[in-house]
Amino acid sequence: MSTATSLRRPPRVLISGGSIAGPAIAWWFTRYGFHTTLVERWPGLRPGGQNIDVSNQGREIARRMSLEQPILDANTGEKGTVFTDLQGRARISMPLEPGSVSPTNETEILRGSFAQLLYDATSKTTDWRFGDQIKQVDEHEDRVDIVFQSGKQETFDIVVLADGVGSRTRKLVFPPQDIEFKKLGVYIAYFMYPRDPNDPLANQWVVTNLPGKRALSFRPGGPGLTSAFLMWCSPESQGYEKLPQADQIAAIREHLLYPSVPNSTITQRALQGLSATTEVYLEYTGQIHAKHLHTPTGRIGMIGDAAYCGTALSGAGTTLSLVGAYILAGELARHRDDPRAGMKAYEAWMAPFAAQLQDLPPGVPQIVLPQTELGIRVLHGIGRLMLWLSKFRVVQWAAGKVFVPGEVDRIPLPDYREYEVVLDEKK
Ligand SMILES: Cc1cc2nc3c(=O)[nH]c(=O)nc-3n(C[C@H](O)[C@H](O)[C@H](O)COP(=O)(O)OP(=O)(O)OC[C@H]3O[C@@H](n4cnc5c(N)ncnc54)[C@H](O)[C@@H]3O)c2cc1C
Ligand SMILES: *[C@@H]1O[C@H](CO)[C@@H](O)[C@H](O)[C@H]1NC(C)=O
Ligand SMILES: *[C@@H]1O[C@H](CO)[C@@H](O)[C@H](O)[C@H]1NC(C)=O
SS (H, E, C) 97-144: CCCCCCCCCCCEEEHHHHHHHHHHHHCCCCEEEECCCEEEEEECCCCE
Q: What is the pTM of this model?
A: 0.93
| Alpha-carbon distances of 41 from 19, 45, 131, 148, 157, rounded to whole Å | 11, 10, 5, 11, 21
Ligand 1 atom at minimum distance from 133 CA: 42
Query: Cis ω on the peptide bond leading into residue 10 (within 30° of 0)?
Result: no
Per-residue pLDDT at 43? 97
Distance CA 400, CA 409 (A): 11
Of the listed ligands, the closest to the CA of 129 is 1
Instruction: Say which range, 12-21, 237-246, 280-289, 308-317, has the weakest mean pLDDT.
Output: 308-317
For residue 19, report the distance from its CA to the centre of ligand 1, in Å: 5
Calculate mean pLDDT across residues 7-16.
Answer: 88
Q: Measure the CA dihedral 414/420/425/427, to 10°.
A: 50
Please name the residue whose Cα sits nearest to atom 1 of ligand 2.
105
For residue 163, report the distance from its CA to the centre of ligand 1, in Å: 7
Distance CA 388, CA 384 (A): 6
Interacting residues of 335 by C-beta distance below 8 A, sequence separation 6+ = 341, 342, 345
For residue 383, report the distance from its CA to the centre of ligand 1, in Å: 32
Per-residue pLDDT at 3? 46
> Which mutation among 55, 108, 396, 410 tests ligand 2's pocket best, with the greatest number of atoms within 8 A of CB?
55
Query: Do the beta carbons of residue 183 and residue 51 sit within 8 Å?
Result: no
Per-residue pLDDT at 2? 45
Residue 206 has pLDDT above 60, yes or no: yes
For residue 164, report the distance from its CA to the centre of ligand 1, in Å: 5
Going by pLDDT thresholds of 50, 70 and 90, the confidence category of residue 53 is: confident
Per-residue pLDDT at 27? 98
Distance CA 27, CA 162 (A): 14
Contact 94 CB / ligand 2 (< 6 Å):
no
For residue 360, report the distance from its CA to the centre of ligand 2, in Å: 20
Per-residue pLDDT at 167? 95
Residue 5 has pLDDT above 50, yes or no: no
Digit-coded pLDDT (tens) for 89-127: 999 999 998 877 788 999 999 999 999 999 999 999 999
User: Given strand 225-233, what is the order of strands in its sheet?
Assistant: 90-95, 80-84, 205-210, 214-220, 225-233, 179-194, 279-290
| Beta strand ranges found along 278-391 (DSSP E) | 279-290, 300-302
Contact 111 CB / ligand 1 (< 6 Å):
yes
Query: Do the beta carbons of residue 167 and residue 177 sit within 8 Å?
Result: no
Query: Do the beta carbons of residue 217 and residue 231 sit within 8 Å?
Result: yes
For residue 263, report the distance from its CA to the centre of ligand 2, in Å: 37
C-alpha 378: how far from chain center: 30
Contact 110 CB / ligand 1 (< 6 Å):
no
Q: 426 or 391, which is more confident?
A: 391
Per-residue pLDDT at 103? 87
Per-residue pLDDT at 197? 84
Digit-coded pLDDT (tens) for 237-278: 999 999 999 999 999 999 999 888 899 999 999 999 999 998
Calculate mean pLDDT across residues 298-327.
Answer: 95
Please name the residue whose Cα sits nearest to atom 11 of ligand 2.
105
For residue 98, report the distance from its CA to the centre of ligand 2, in Å: 8
Closest CA to 276 of 216, 194, 189: 194
Residue 404 has pLDDT above 70, yes or no: no
Per-residue pLDDT at 1? 43
> Which mutation among 111, 190, 192 tests ligand 1's pocket best, with the greatest number of atoms within 8 A of CB?
111
Q: Is 147 helix (H, G, I), strand (E, B) or coil?
A: strand
Residue 425 has pLDDT above 60, yes or no: no
For residue 91, report the distance from its CA to the centre of ligand 3, in Å: 24
> What proportion of the chain, given as a percentage, has pLDDT over 90?
78
Distance CA 106, CA 59 (A): 11
State residue 326 phi and psi, 5-degree precision.
Answer: -65, -45
Contact 50 CB / ligand 1 (< 6 Å):
yes
Closest CA to 322 of 17, 15, 27: 27
User: For 355, how many CA atoms within 13 A lie in the half-sphere containing its CB?
Assistant: 10
Residue 33 has pLDDT above 70, yes or no: yes
Residue 388 has pLDDT above 90, yes or no: no
Calculate mean pLDDT across residues 197-225.
Answer: 92
Residue 56 has pLDDT above 60, yes or no: yes
For residue 105, report the distance from its CA to the centre of ligand 2, in Å: 6
Contact 106 CB / ligand 2 (< 6 Å):
yes
> Which mutation among 19, 159, 287 tests ligand 1's pocket best, with the greatest number of atoms within 8 A of CB?
19
Distance CA 418, CA 147 (A): 35
Going by pLDDT thresholds of 50, 70 and 90, the confidence category of residue 424 is: low
> Which mutation among 63, 78, 106, 318 tests ligand 2's pocket best, with the greatest number of atoms within 8 A of CB?
106
Contact 86 CB / ligand 1 (< 6 Å):
no
Residue 363 has pLDDT above 90, yes or no: no
Residue 140 has pLDDT above 60, yes or no: yes
| Alpha-carbon distances of 218 from 228, 250, 398, rounded to whole Å | 4, 19, 31
| Alpha-carbon distances of 219 from 143, 213, 224, 298, 328, rounded to whole Å | 46, 20, 11, 42, 34
Per-residue pLDDT at 4? 45
Residue 415 has pLDDT above 60, yes or no: yes
Query: Do the beta carbons of residue 203 and residue 219 sit within 8 Å?
Result: no
Contact 55 CB / ligand 2 (< 6 Å):
yes
Closest CA to 316 of 380, 350, 274, 360: 360
Ligand 1 atom at minimum distance from 162 CA: 26
> What proportion of the chain, given as a percentage, has pLDDT over 70?
93
Digit-coded pLDDT (tens) for 217-234: 999 998 899 999 999 999
Residue 426 has pLDDT above 60, yes or no: no
Q: Is 5 helix (H, G, I), strand (E, B) or coil?
A: helix
Going by pLDDT thresholds of 50, 70 and 90, the confidence category of residue 315 is: confident
Residue 407 has pLDDT above 80, yes or no: no
Ligand 2 atom at minimum distance from 98 CA: 13
Going by pLDDT thresholds of 50, 70 and 90, the confidence category of residue 427 is: very low
3-state helix, strand, coil in the chain (%, to 5): 35, 25, 40
Calculate mean pLDDT across residues 159-180.
Answer: 96
How deeply is 10 buried, as exposed, middle or buried, from its count of CB atoms within 10 A (0-12, 13-18, 19+)? middle
Query: Do the beta carbons of residue 180 and residue 269 sit within 8 Å?
Result: no
For residue 268, report the distance from its CA to the centre of ligand 3, in Å: 7
